[in-house]
Structure 1
Amino acid sequence: MNITIVTPAGPDSKAGNRATAVRWQQLLEASGHEVAVRTDYHDEPCDLMIALHAWRSADTIREFSERWPDKPLIVVLTGTDIYHHQFEYPEPTLASMASAQVLIGLHDLVAWDIPERFRSKLVTLRQSAPQPTVYGGSKVEPGQLNVCVIGHLRDEKDSLRAAWASRLVPEDSRIIVSCAGKPHNGEWRQKALQESKDNPRFHWLGELDKPQLENLMAVSSLMVISSVMEGGANVVSEACRAGLPILASDIPGNRGLLGKEYPGYFPVKDEASLANLMYRVETNPEFLAELRARVNELAASFTPEQERQSLEKALALAMDAVSPEV
């Protein structure tokens, strides 16, 4: 098929949704499809559209549905769509969900957080990560506990929660928190710079490229994902594939990937609980080993082949919805 993928993130963006669009382009082209990734849509013909963001891509979704009413449309639900935009901007967000033949959710609990009338359209897809060239913790220096936080610095990510938690660990702790990511705005940049200045346990590394991120994971014993909302963070996939233990905020987007029995959750925005967990990891090798065993068990669910199969399932369902006789 000739497929168009629309994402609001431009070609130079390192945002997760741009990475998702490019990865899907590669996976679908490997299956024999022709795929174009666009930030703007101008009525270019295609056999099927995949639109990332129900709200941010609402205009494109409406235009495509009006221009090509008999062609299949897949809408990918992001964390902000599910946990913010459907309530803050219900008309365009829900209209996008209604227009789609298939909705893609990126974690296992999405169905519980969207209107019941749309659940029959939902396909769950776990984002993949490639086989890592180095594994999490493989370059850790003895006697250290390096904690990494990876992702753009923004409110939804609660990006400095691990830094604030590191202020609360006992004085004898060897915990160091390193944060890699581009600040969403000047306020976040200033907050990261000030925290780096005031907190000897915290380093803000700025935006890193892929090899630098892999090296950061290799010198880290632990990753913290402190988001207040997530649609299914790809950094979870990367950490699991790399065998890097995770401490995660207790939100549906994390539970939908790591599972309800995962032992490394802490309450949202609770740096005291996170500090206790980080110190427990540092002082209890058995707990760290349990976390590592859990992410290693999950790694097989985040492979590119699994993701490609989920994409193909979504394509087939969307085509069937507009051509049920085929």
Structure 2
Amino acid sequence: MARARIHIVSPASARDNNGNWQTASRWRRHLARDYRVTIGPGWQPPDDVPDLLIALHARRSAAALAAFTDAHPDRPALLVMTGTDLYRDIHVDAAARASLDRARAVVVLQPRGLDELPQALRPKAHVIYQSAPRLAPARPHMPFDVAMIGHLRAEKDPRTFMDAARLVRTPGVRLLHIGAALDPELGRRARETEQATPAYRWLGALPHMATRRRLRRCHAMVIASRMEGGANVIIEAVTSGVPVLASSISGNVGMLGEDYAGLFAPGDAPALAALIERSVADARFVERLRRQCAARAALFAPAAERARLLDLVDNLLSDERKHPSAQP
């Protein structure tokens, strides 16, 4: 029997090297043993017709999802809520809301994401944590590197990290900022911070594995975002034994746990600076963060993500396996 075909619609490409692309690429690997999987920026007739369409991002993939479900209402479509669509777009954008209705099933990347969905649609929603292979931690020595990883755009709130860098006074702390300046004004701000603050370094965009290797040598990682669906960088830090200092937004709390000790209010640069300095000065505090992160690591194992994804995909395709479509 021929393997079923799955097409993943990703608004990002390998060149973008962002969370959406990492999700699409990783899911292709997870599914490729059992299915024929392709990735593309969209879907429109007369493209090849997959047995299942997986659409990443309710607004940015809305046109592809609409075209597929209109042309092939008998075939399932799976919508993955990746961040800005969950926490902004479905509340203000008609096309994003329509995507929720069109999808046979919806995936959120951490359990707090369920709270954003309309009550009537929650029965078709599933939580699938993302994953990353474990890298053996390399306990840092002086200088103590604290990294923020993410392209420079408003949702990631890089200004808070830059402002915190100006406030940190502990000797031997270096704040590393990895990511491309998608917002030119934020790039200018990063260059100004680098000139004014010797402890701050903006490294620009780095390849994914180079970033992971840099991360595993860090003392801590900062995620200052105003909006996140379920950040890959949190998973990559946790699976490398690197404690996380995170803004207390829903997406981050859903990943790290309600009682996580390394949270600060979004936009609060003094609070972030204080956490960074405490993590260096207070050995008991940083060990508590490491223990809390280690307790979450099993959630982010590749085998766990693959099992949840395959279970959902198998169920979505089960009816078609029993009653194969006559379409080519």
Aligned counterpart, 1:79? 83
User: Residue by residue, what CA displacement relative to the aligned partner does 1:206-263 show, whole Å, maximum 9, x if unpaired?
Assistant: 1111342133213310000100010000111111110100010001101111110111
Match for 2:121 among 118, 121, 133?
118
1:189, distance to aligned residue in structure 2 (A) = 1.8
Q: Deviations over 1:276-305 (max 9, x none)?
A: 111111110010111111111211111111
Distance 2:238 2:270 in 1: 25
The residue type paired with residue 126 of structure 2 is V
CA contact (8 A) 1:72 1:321 kept: no
Determine the structure 1 residue equivalent to 2:132.
129
- Residue type matched to 1:80 in 2? T
In 1, the alpha carbon distance for the partners of 2:178 and 2:215 equals 11
3-state SS, counterpart of residue 75 of structure 2? coil
Instruction: Give the letter aligned to residue 12 of structure 2.
Output: A
1:58 — aligned with what? Answer: 62
Alpha-carbon contact 1:239-1:246 (below 8 Å) kept: yes
Shift of 1:323: 8.6
The answer as to 2:199 corresponding to 1:201 is yes
Instruction: Deviation per CA, 1:19-39: give whole Å up to 9, x if none.
Output: 111110011012x11100011
State yes or no: 1:104 paired with 2:103: no
- Give the C-alpha shift of residue 181 in structure 1: 0.6
Partner SS for 1:167: helix
**What is aligned with 1:223?**
221
Q: Which amino acid aligns with 2:159?
A: L
Distance (whole Å) between structure 2 residues aligned to residue 249 and residue 322 of structure 1: 43
Cα distance, 1:2 vs. partner?
Answer: 0.7
Decide whether the 8 Å contact of 1:102 with 1:317 is kept in 2: no
Percent sequence identity over aligned pairs: 34
* Residue in structure 1 matching 2:287, options 270, 286, 289: 289
1:149 aligns to what SS in structure 2? strand
**Alpha-carbon offset, residue 317 of structure 1:** 3.8
Q: For 2:16, what is the secondary structure of its paired residue?
A: coil
Aligned to 1:150: 149
Partners of 1:156 and 1:312 in 2: how far apart?
31
Residue in structure 2 matched with residue 308 of structure 1 by the alignment? 306
Paired with 1:84 and 1:129, the residues of 2 have a C-alpha distance of: 26
**Counterpart-to-counterpart distance in 1, 2:218 and 2:255:** 21
2:170 equivalent to 1:168:
no
- Could you tell me which residue of structure 2 aligns to residue 141 of structure 1? 141
Q: What is the CA deviation profile of residues 54-76 of structure 1, one whole-angstrom value per residue up to 9, with x for unaligned ones?
A: 10111111100111000000000
Moved more, 52-61 or 202-211: 202-211
CA positional deviation for 1:48: 0.4
Alpha-carbon distance between aligned partners in 2 of 1:166 and 1:194, rounded to the nearest angstrom: 12
Q: Alpha carbons of 1:274 and 1:11: their partners in 2 closer, same or farther (altered >3 Å)?
A: closer
Letter in 2 for 1:207: A
Counterpart-to-counterpart distance in 2, 1:167 and 1:286: 25
CA contact (8 A) 2:216 2:237 kept: no
Moved more, 314-323 or 91-100: 314-323
Q: Deviations over 1:157-199 (max 9, x none)?
A: 01232221122233x4332110111111322221211211121
Q: Give the unaligned 5+ runs of structure 2.
A: none
What CA deviation, in whole Å up to 9, does each residue of 1:133-160 have, x standing for no partner? x42x43x224x32100111111000123
Equivalent of residue 70 in structure 1, options 50, 74, 80: 74
Paired residues of 1:178 and 1:204 also in contact (CA < 8 A): yes
| 1:160 alignment partner, SS class | helix
TM-score by length of 2: 0.92
Q: How does 1:263-278 map to 2 (within 5 A)?
A: 263-278=261-276
The whole-number CA distance in structure 1 between the counterparts of 2:168 and 2:11 is: 40
1:254 correspondence with 2:252: yes
